[in-house]
Amino acid sequence: MNAPSPQVLVVDDRADSRKLLALRLQQQGCVVVQAESGEQALLFAAQNPPDLVLLDVLMPGMNGFEVCQRLRAMPAMLGVPVVLVTSLDDSEHYVRGLDAGADDFITKPVKPVELRARVRSLLRVKQQFDQIELQRRALEDWSQTLARRVDDKVAEVERLSRLKRFFSPRLAARLVGESNEAGEFGEAAWRSHRREVTVLFADLRGFTSFAERAAPERVMQALAGFHSVMGRLIFDFEGTLERFTGDGMMVFFNDPDPVPDHSGRAVELALAMQREAADMAALWQLEDGPDGLAIGIARGVATLGALGFEARLDYAAIGSVTNLAARLCAEAGAGEVWVSAPVADETNGRWPLRALPPLTLKGFAQPVLAWCLGDAVA
């Protein structure tokens, strides 16, 4: 594609001078716009900035020096060469022209060879200026794009950091758009779905009476230490923390990412939690605090996904499996881990299990078989 012809603005109050310059410039392939006064030249330049200006100095009204100065004040004319065409050849007028912003001078009468050389040279300068300006704008656009990307990434990291205070690291990553092992990301990972999971409920025994007796500051201090230790263990064992419930918590495995042997992982977490809870309970008992931790674990199919409203969402597991884990936790004593039949089947032989009498549990029509994990706090 051929480049557009350069446009030259010729300014002279004398028609014959304008036409002669226009003819010679057209022979060089230029498009010529003629202005008969400084005021008209400023109007043309404002409407359609040229690539070069040939400007007569001695004109009635606004002279060439003033026109040049005003042209230079136009942002679109900063890179446009201005040539003063003058019969004045003293140094004082050259200095004045340079101060006004002129780039070059041509002395009248204009010599065709000199005109061609000056025009050719100055148009090359203008072309280079235009290329540099295009590059500058491209760099500026890229810089702004890069800045937006950096800002977006920083904001994403900040959101992720904040979310990790409320959700597991994997759930926080899903919320800000990182893909999971199934290729789901962002909102897709939060849509309701069904999956087999292992659910763990844990609850501190004797905490309610402790909370009624102790000062509020001491209660919150005990809870903060308990949550800190248990939260670290949950993340270490790659569990999904659904929620803290004061002195208790609910954790599930195998969602949002599949976890191999998720029942075994839940039992391993339960044992680690009991060991830590036993150490904390020994200190709590010095001030008549909680007795220890009770844990219930069940395995089954649950409905999972975002639960709540626009301003506050939780990632929840819902179904009979969560109810069973909660009921087993409620029946277990301090330091005990009770597991459902599917969990016992999956983990049998790896840990000692003691069969419990059939349990009559609220919400379950038939007696429930369960096992107690032996030596939970050993």
Angle between helices 112-163 and 15-27 (to 10 degrees): 70
Instruction: Name residue 244's beta-bridge partners.
Output: 249
Those residues whose C-beta lies under 8 Å from the C-beta of residue 378, and which sit 6 or more positions away, are none
At 365 the three-state DSSP class reads coil
Say if 143 falls within a structural domain. no
In a domain, 216, yes or no: yes
Domain count within the chain = 2
Comparing CA positions, the residue from 60, 62, 39, 44 lying closest to residue 8 is: 44
Residues 130 and 269 in one domain: no
Classify burial at 242, counting beta carbons within 10 Å of its beta carbon; exposed 0-12, middle 13-18, buried 19 or more.
buried
Question: How would you write the pLDDT of the chain (378 residues) with one tens digit per residue?
Answer: 566 889 999 999 999 988 998 899 998 899 999 999 999 999 999 999 999 999 998 898 899 899 999 999 999 898 899 988 888 777 777 888 888 888 888 888 888 888 888 888 888 888 888 788 888 888 888 888 888 888 777 766 766 665 555 555 665 666 565 544 544 445 555 678 999 999 999 999 999 889 888 899 988 998 999 999 999 999 899 898 888 888 899 999 998 888 889 999 999 999 999 999 999 988 888 888 899 999 999 999 999 887 777 666 677 889 999 999 999 999 999 999 999 999 999 988 899 999 999 999 999 999 999 999 976 554
Does residue 102 sit in the same domain as residue 200? no
Q: Are residues 223 and 357 in the same domain?
A: yes
The phi, psi pair for 351, rounded to 5°, reads -135, 150
Answer yes or no: is 180 within a domain.
no
140 is a domain residue: no
Give the contacts of 37 (CB within 8 A, at least 6 positions apart): 11, 13, 59, 60, 61, 62
Same structural domain for residues 211 and 130?
no
Q: Are 126 and 198 part of one and the same domain?
A: no
If one counts every other C-beta atom within 10 angstroms of the C-beta of residue 314, the result is 13
Last residue of some domain: 104, 119, 135?
Answer: 135
pTM: 0.57
In a domain, 63, yes or no: yes
Contact predicate 304/197, CB 8 Å: yes
Q: Does residue 219 sit in the same domain as residue 340?
A: yes
CATH number of the domain encompassing residue 104: 3.40.50.2300
In this structure, the answer to whether residues 59 and 199 fall within a common structural domain is: no
Instruction: Please indicate, yes or no, whether residues 126 and 229 belong to a single structural domain of this protein.
Output: no
Contacts of 239 (CB under 8 A, 6+ apart): 168, 200, 251, 252, 253, 265, 266, 269
pLDDT score of 378: 43
Q: Is 166 within the bounds of a domain?
A: no
Residue 369 lies inside a defined structural domain of this protein: yes
From 120, 135, 150, give the residue that closes a domain.
135
Q: Are strands 52-56 and 82-86 parallel, antiparallel or unpaired?
A: parallel
In this structure, the answer to whether residues 244 and 358 fall within a common structural domain is yes
Contact (CB, 8 A) for 66 and 38: yes
Does residue 150 sit within a domain?
Answer: no
**DSSP structure class, residue 5:** P
d(C-alpha 368, C-alpha 358), whole Å: 5
Q: Are residues 244 and 325 in the same domain?
A: yes
- Domain with 310 in it: 192-373
**Whether 119 and 227 share a structural domain:** no
pLDDT of residue 237: 92
Same domain, 231 and 345: yes
Q: What is the pLDDT of residue 358?
A: 95
Domain of residue 261, CATH code: 3.30.70.1230
Best CA proximity match to 197, nearest among 326, 342, 87, 309 = 342
Q: Strands 82-86 and 240-245, how do they pair?
A: unpaired
